[in-house]
């Protein structure tokens, strides 16, 4: 199971990026809740981290992997498919979810997008 962002996680991220590149709570601008197609909903992320180089990305991804924190990459937010909006899908009552009929990919219970 994934865990929710804690103050300890935020403190760690502050050791990786500059403080002005880390946004939490009321610091997160509403533009980060959706892309250009608001039809998919608006969801406030727990944290927004702006990275400057590959070392920062590597450190953050490694930490999130170690502590099972999901990451949703975001570009400029101009997409029209809701790809930058993280969603929680509760599938406990289902055995599996067919993702695509072209190659019959399966997503097992407990995976999140």
What would the two tokens of residue 64 be? 């999130």
50 has a pLDDT exceeding 70: yes
pTM, entire model: 0.65
Task: Delineate the domains of the chain, giving CATH numbers in brackets.
Answer: 7-86 (3.30.43.10)
3 within 8 A of 69, measured Cβ to Cβ? yes
CA-based nearest residue to 24, from 56, 48, 57: 48
pLDDT the model gives residue 94: 44
Q: Which of 58, 52, 46 is nearest to 86 (CA)?
A: 46
Residue 71 banded pLDDT, cuts 50, 70, 90: confident
């Amino acid at each position: 199971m994934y865990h929710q962002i804690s103050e300890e996680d935020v403190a760690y991220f502050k050791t990786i990026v500059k403080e002005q590149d880390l946004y939490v709570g009321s610091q997160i601008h509403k533009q980060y809740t959706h892309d250009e197609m608001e039809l998919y909903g608006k969801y406030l992320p727990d944290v927004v981290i702006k990275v400057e180089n590959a070392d920062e990305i590597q450190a953050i991804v490694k930490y999130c992997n170690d502590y099972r924190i999901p990451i949703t990459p975001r570009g400029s937010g101009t997409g029209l498919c809701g790809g930058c909006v993280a969603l929680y899908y509760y599938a406990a009552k289902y055995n599996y979810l067919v993702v695509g009929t072209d190659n019959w990919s399966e997503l097992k219970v407990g995976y999140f997008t």
